[in-house]
Amino acid sequence: MNVQNVSILGATGSIGDNTLDVIARNADRFRVIALTARRNVDKLADQCARFDARFAVIADPGLAGRLQAALADRKARAEVLTGVDGLEEAAGMADTDIVMAAIVGAAGLRPTFRAAQCGKKILLANKESLVIAGEVFTAEARRAGARVLPVDSEHNAIFQSLPPAFADGLEAVGVERVILTASGGPFLDLPRSALSGVTPEQACKHPNWAMGRKISVDSATLMNKGLEVIEARWLFNARPEQIEVLIHPQSIVHSMVTYRDGSILAQLGTPDMRTPIAHALGWPERIEAGVDRLNLAQMSELSFHEPDLERFPCLGLAFAAMRRGDSAPVTLNAANEIAVERFLGGRLRFDRIPHLVGEVLDRVSVTALGGLDDVLEQDSLARRVTEEQAVKLQ
């Protein structure tokens, strides 16, 4: 059995934790090469010591000295790299076979793009790489022979439910549409009039999943599902009209694929991110994930209904941005990142998040994207406009 070398971009987050847990359960198959973090020095040093990583990358160069000292305290041998250059080196180094791309937000674009350029097996948890640079990213991955495997539970479920030749077009393999399921988040049944008083702590308490704060807020607004819709467009070579969203509060059916003959194939499982991580890590084989088994005999209900776009306007904004194409998803993502950051910092009401995103989408012109530099320029522009508009909504 060949041992595969793994670099984890965003090792100290929940996806990173779960990835390392799966690797520990399959130590004969995988070896950690590089681990990265934004600012969490102590946790990164602990992980490097435990898994004997060769490289420790801290995105904030000002923390390099602290990281070096923390590694020395733990007698860890990892070499310290810093900044975007360090992240890109971890993603593209020759010894790395697999890259777990789990840096949250647009900050993960450059290192994930580097992994694609180097033809790596990419486990994609950083959905923004496809949301804001879908056409550019997928073209580069094809050119370099990179294999992109989705780690989001919904996209991984669709991947498992599709035939191998789906890249030739969904219609060519008899697929009518893909259906992304959404739990509806913590405010599914909350009166709309109460949304203005939602606190960050309430928004971050997801009913089914343990996630980071940013993605938890996105799940509460359903923007996370909107971003996943755009991601699915590029992952599965799907047209906008071939993508559907259904609310499924139990989070047991992770997503579905409907076929021309009337069949619906779905992937079911307990809500545990180690399942899609293990599937992507081991693909095309199946490996141990350490998750509780789903007991269908104990389940009393599986329910589905269409999302209420008046309650969750962010989902409608995402569908509209996908249909407009070009730079519209870049603007959508940038505006949402700023809006969520301000909400978490107590500078924007929860119910004003979609208002701010919609205002920025109206104000920023849609332009064609010729390459990664165009994507980053549009992202910067959208962030400036969002900050300007946010002041008016306070």
Mean pLDDT computed over 249-255: 95
For residue range 314-360, list pLDDT tens digits in order: 999 999 999 999 999 999 999 999 999 999 999 999 999 999 999 99
Which two tokens mark 294?
């789903």
Q: Which residue has the tokens 């199946």?
A: 286
Where in the chain does DSSP place strands (E)?
4-9, 30-37, 55-58, 79-82, 98-101, 121-124, 147-150, 175-182, 243-247, 253-259, 264-268
Q: Which residue has the tokens 């102590």?
A: 42
Question: What pLDDT is recorded for position 104?
Answer: 84
DSSP state of 348: S
Question: Domain map of the chain by residue range?
Answer: 4-150
Predicted confidence band at 141 (pLDDT cuts at 50, 70, 90)?
very high
Question: What pLDDT is recorded for position 207?
Answer: 78
What architecture does CATH give domain 4-150? 3-Layer(aba) Sandwich (3.40)
Statement: the pTM of the whole predicted model exceeds 0.85: yes
Give a three-class secondary structure readout of 91-156.
Answer: HHCCCCCEEEECCCCHHHHHHHHHHHHCCCEEEECCCHHHHHHHHHHHHHHHHHCCEEEECCHHHH
Report d(CA 118, CA 265) in Å as an integer.
Answer: 34
